């Protein structure tokens, strides 16, 4: 049973426009949510996170929104830049004491010039 779902395997956005990556989850016990970015041949890199008690967190060009009632979060990147082309993973932690993250399968973001 997949507790964290990223339903779009890929997304293509024009440079300078907004990129919106979506993530749904099923476990209401998750304490916080994270987004990771991954380039080929590298490990995932932490991008931004949000606590379950917040509905928005912003860091420069990156904003994460959390809608607890819908069990949905999204990552907004504004403006999108060529270097943003990567695979983005949504992850969640908490609920039971284990510290391991539950990851979605990722969305491949392609920024077109």
Partner 1 sequence: DSGVTQTPKHLITATGQRVTLRCSPRSGDLSVYWYQQSLDQGLQFLIQYYNGEERAKGNILERFSAQQFPDLHSELNLSSLELGDSALYFCASSVGAGTMYGYTFGSGTRLTVV
Among 46, 55, 56, 67, binds partner 1 (CB under 8 A): 46
63 DSSP β-pair partners: 58, 76
Among 42, 60, 69, 83, binds partner 1 (CB under 8 A): 42
Give the count of beta carbons closer than 10 Å to the beta carbon of residue 57: 16
User: Among 111, 109, 73, which residue's Cα sits nearest to residue 90?
Assistant: 73
**Of 24 and 104, CB closest to partner 1:** 104
> With CB under 8 A, what is the number of residues at the site for partner 1?
25
Instruction: Kindly identify the residues of this chain, within the stretch 3-22, that bind partner 1 according to CB under 8 A.
Output: none
């Amino acid at each position: 049973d997949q507790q964290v779902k990223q339903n779009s395997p890929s997304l293509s956005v024009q440079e300078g426009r907004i990129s919106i990556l979506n993530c749904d989850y099923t476990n209401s016990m998750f304490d916080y949510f994270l987004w990771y970015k991954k380039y080929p041949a590298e490990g995932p890199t932490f991008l931004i996170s949000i606590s379950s008690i917040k509905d928005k967190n912003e860091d420069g060009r990156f904003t994460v929104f959390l809608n607890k009632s819908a069990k949905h979060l999204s990552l907004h990147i504004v403006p999108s830049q060529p270097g943003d082309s990567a695979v983005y993973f949504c992850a969640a932690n908490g609920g039971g004491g284990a510290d391991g993250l539950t990851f979605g399968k990722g969305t491949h973001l392609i920024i077109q010039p």
